[in-house]
Amino acid sequence: MERGRDGEEELEEEDEDEEEDGGPESALEKSPFQLTAADVYDISSVVGRDLLQLRAGPQLPAARARLQFRIVRVLEMLEALVSESSVAEEQLRRERDSLRRELEQLRAAARGSAPQVGAG
């Protein structure tokens, strides 16, 4: 699937249009916690397009650098999501343990104040 010069110009025009509209590249600039499913598809599209541009020629160094930057950004986003998830999980564990302790204290207090039934 060899593209002629016209194909390259069209691709560059598409890039410029997308950048003006925010385009798929704008998903890479968002906080990982604001991403939507559509943003994930946009990122996939951008990385896929960059992979297609990796061919011998004068644009190779720029395409390689762009792709490297985007892959690093995606990895940073994943790291942030995983870290946030771990923090939230630990926080939930602490809250659960605290509630268990409170429940045990309430049960112990209820046992201590329960009326003793005598043998009559």
Q: Which CATH number does the domain housing residue 58 bear?
A: 1.20.58.1770
pLDDT for the residue numbered 19: 45
**Distance separating alpha carbons of residues 120 and 116, to the nearest angstrom:** 11
**Strand runs (DSSP E) across 74-115, as ranges?**
none
Q: How far apart are the first and last CA of the chain?
A: 97
> Is residue 37 included in any domain, yes or no?
yes
> Is residue 83 included in any domain, yes or no?
yes
pLDDT for the residue numbered 86: 85
Domain count, the chain: 1
> Is residue 14 included in any domain, yes or no?
no
> Is residue 88 included in any domain, yes or no?
yes
If we measure between CA atoms, which residue out of 49, 26, 50 comes closest to residue 38? 26
Domain span at residue 50 reads 26-110
> Is residue 30 included in any domain, yes or no?
yes
pLDDT for the residue numbered 35: 85
> Is residue 57 included in any domain, yes or no?
yes
pLDDT for the residue numbered 115: 60
Give the mean pLDDT per block of 10 residues along the chain (120 residues). Answer: 49 48 84 87 88 82 89 90 86 92 91 63
pLDDT for the residue numbered 1: 47
> Is residue 7 included in any domain, yes or no?
no
Contacts of 96 (CB under 8 A, 6+ apart): none
Q: How far is CA 82 from CA 5, 78, 105, 109, in A?
A: 43, 6, 35, 41
> Is residue 77 included in any domain, yes or no?
yes
pLDDT for the residue numbered 33: 86
